[in-house]
Amino acid sequence: MCGIVGYVGYRGAPEILVNGLRKLEYRGYDSAGVAVVFDNEIKIAKTKGKVNNLAERIEKTWSEKLQTKATTGISHTRWATHGEPNEINAHPHLDNDGRTVLVHNGIIENCRALKARLLAEGHTFASETDTEVLAHLVGKYYKTDLIEAVCEALSKVEGTFGIAVLAKDKPDEIVVARKGSPIVIGVGDDETFVASDAAAIVAHTKNVIYLDDGDVAILTAGEVEVRTLENSPISREVSTLEFDADSAEKGEHKHFMHKEIFEQPDALRNAIGGRLDKDKATAILSGLSMSPREMAELRRFIMVACGTSMNAGLVGEYYFEDLADMITDVEQAAEFRYRNPIIGSQDMVLAISQSGETADTLAAIREAKQKGALISGLCNVVGSTIARETGRGVYLHAGPEIGVASTKAFTCQVAVLLMMALKFGRGRRLSRDVGQKLCAAISNIPKYAEETLKLDGQIRDIAKVYAGVEDVFFIGRGYMYPVALEGALKLKEISYIHAEGYHAAELKHGPIALLEPRVPVVALANDVPGKDKTIGNIEECKARNSPVIAVVTGDDPCVDGLADHIIRVPETPDVIAPITVAIALQLFAYHIAEFRGCEIDQPRNLAKSVTVE
C-alpha cells in the first residue's frame, strides 16, 4: 500500500524521486524518505508526514551539488503496517553496517523470527519495522554481488514484498524484486525508472516492464536485466502505457476526487465504447476469450472483491441473476481462500479490483485456479498482476484514479458488469428484443451521468445542512441496496462520519433503535422493484424524528411532503439507476467532507491500493 520510486541515470535523482512520490502519495502518506548514493556514501533524508515535508527537508539539508549530482536513488512514501508512523520508522532503512539501503512494500510475516536470529548475531535495530529486518538480512549476505545478496535474503523471507535496494559501492545500480506487491520498471534513454505504480514514471517514459511474482531485476542507466529469485536469467516484454501524465493531474479541480467524479461521463464512454453489438443485441467482450458454448456451459458465477469493488459486485449479482439466469455469489476476497470454497470446472471466478493489485483478491483467484475454476479479471490498470494472472477479462479503461475514495472505477465496474450480464444472458434465455433495449440503455449511460452531475449545486446545498452530523444511515432495496452500502462507504471514507448502509428491510432489525433527530437517513426510493416498501421505511424514520434525504427518479412525487430533502436523479431504466444514484451520493459525500475541512484525496489511515492482507 506504500509507494516506491527509484531512478538511475544522468539527471539529479532527488528531484525525480520527490516528484514521483507526489504522484504516489495516494498510496500512503504517513511518512516519506529518499536515499541516494553520492561520493561513495549513502545519503538519507526522511520525515514524518507528507512528501512536501520531505521536499523541504532535502532543500534545507542537502547541498545543491548533492541534489543535482547524485544520479542514483530510491524513495518511499509509507502507509504504516509495522511500527507507528514517525521519522524513525520511515523508509529507507540501512543494513547493520550501513553498506546497503532498502525500501519495501508489503509485510514480512516471519520478521520476528528473523529479527531474533539477527539480534543473536549482534545486529542492532533503530526502528520497529519489518523492513529494517529485511535490510539487515540483505546486508548480512552482501559481499560483492548485490543481486546475489538480495536473492539469498529473500529466500529466507515469508510474506509479500516489492523492494528496491542500493549499495554504496554500486553507485550506478539498483536491484528490485517483487512478490505480491507491484513493481514496474520504466525504460528511458540512458536512464531507468522504477515504481510501484506507473503514475510515478509516465511523465518520463511510456515504455515499461511489469515484473511478475518471483522476479528480481538489476537496473542500470542503459540496461534492465531480469532474473528469477534463484538468480537465473528470464525475459519480460516491454509494454506501452495507455495514459499520459496530464491525466494524473487535478487541473482546475480542487481535489482529485472532484475531478474524477466529473470525469465519469468520459470514463463510462471509454468503458462502453465499441463493446455493444446492437444488431445481435449483445456485448462485445473479446477479452473474456470464451465461445458462446463455453459461456452457456458455465454453472455459476462467483465474484471476489473488497471494498468498493465488492459493492460493484453486489450490483452485478442482481444483473447476472436477473438477466443471465445464472447462480451468482459475491464473496469477500479476504475470506475466500480460508473458507474452503466449493468451486469447480463449471464455475467462473471473476476478480474485481480497480488497481488489479489487491492482495486479498489476488490470493482468492490463485485459490480458485488451484481448485480448477475458470478465472477472469475486471481491472482498470492495464498490465496489473490480476490482469496478467487471470489471462482473460475486461479492462475498464476509466483512466487513472488518484483519489483514495474510488468513484469512476465503481460506476465503470457496474457498467461493465451490466454488459457482461447482457452477453451471458444472450447466450442463454435473454431475448433479442430485451437485449436491444439493454444496448440502448447502456449506450445512454454517459448522457445520464452528465445529467446527474448537473445536480452538483443542489446536492452541495443539501450537504451543507448535514455537514455537522456524526451518524448517517443509508437504506435501499434491490439494485439500490449495494448502492446504499457504497454511499455509506464513501461518506465514512472521506468525512469521518459514522455511516452505515443497510437493506431497507433490516431497518426494523436493530438500526431503528438509533434513529433520532440527530441521525439522518439517506433513503434510496428510486423507481425499482421494492420502492413502495422503501417509502414505508421512510415513514418509520420520520415517525422517529430522523431527517430523511430521499433519492428518487425524476419527477416522481412519491416522497413529496415526506422527505426533508429530495435529490432527483434522471429517469432511467432500473438497471441504470445504480450508476446515477452512486454519482449523486459521491457528490453528497464529497461536499460534506469539503464543508468539514477533511483531507478528501488522502483520508486518514487509508491508502488507494491495498497490497497487504
Determine the distance from the C-alpha atom of residue 500 to the mean position of all C-alpha atoms in its chain, rounded to a whole number.
21
Scan for cell 548514493, then name that residue: 37
Measured CA angle at 308 (ends 468, 26), to 5 deg: 75
Q: What is the dihedral of CA 208, 209, 212, 218, to 10 degrees?
A: -130
* Residue 293, all three cell numbers: 458454448
For the chain, the helix, strand and coil percentages under 3-state DSSP, each to the nearest 5:
40, 20, 40
What are the φ/ψ torsions at residue 305 (nearest 5 degrees)? -170, 175
Exposure of 144 by Cβ count < 10 A (0-12 exposed, 13-18 middle, 19+ buried)?
exposed
Q: Output the CA–CA distances (angstroms, integers) from residue 113 to 109, 149, 151, 443, in the order listed.
A: 9, 19, 19, 57
CA–CA gap between residue 221 and residue 193 (Å, rounded): 9
Side-chain half-sphere exposure of 52, counting CA atoms within 13 A: 0
**What is the spatial distance between Cα 301 and Cα 282, in angstroms, rounded to a whole number?**
19
What CA–CA distance (Å, rounded) separates 215 from 209?
Answer: 11
Is 553 in contact with 480 (CB distance < 8 Å)? no
Q: What angle do CA 205, 210, 216 make, to 5 degrees?
A: 115
Grid cell digits, residue 540: 418509520
**Closest C-alpha to 549, from 492, 451, 445, 467:** 467
List the grid coordinates of 410: 465503481
* Nine-digit cell string for 567: 435529490
Tell me whether residue 126 is exposed, middle or buried, using C-beta atoms within 10 angstroms of its C-beta: 0 to 12, 13 to 18, 19 or more: exposed
Could you tell me whether strands 521-524 and 498-503 are parallel, antiparallel, or unpaired per DSSP bridges? Answer: unpaired
Secondary structure of residue 391 in the 3-state scheme: coil
Amino acid identity for residue 62 in this structure:
W
Within 10 Å of residue 535's Cβ, how many Cβ atoms? Answer: 18
Secondary structure letter of residue 159 according to DSSP: B
Q: In sequence order, what are the residues at sequence separation of 6 or more whose Cβ sits closer than 8 angstroms to the Cβ of residue 59?
A: none
- What letter represents residue 193's amino acid? F
What would the grid cell of residue 24 be? 504516489
Can you say how many angstroms the Cα of residue 183 is from the centroid of all Cα atoms in its chain?
15
Task: Show the cell assigned to 73.
Answer: 536513488
And the C-alpha cell for 300? 455459476
Grid cell listed for 72: 542514483
Q: If we measure between CA atoms, which residue out of 207, 174, 209, 211 comes closest to residue 188?
A: 207
Residue 3: closest CA among 377, 490, 353, 355? 355
Closest to 471 in 3D by CA, of 494, 458, 490, 488 = 488
Could you list the active site residues? 2, 608
**3-class DSSP assignment, residue 608:** coil
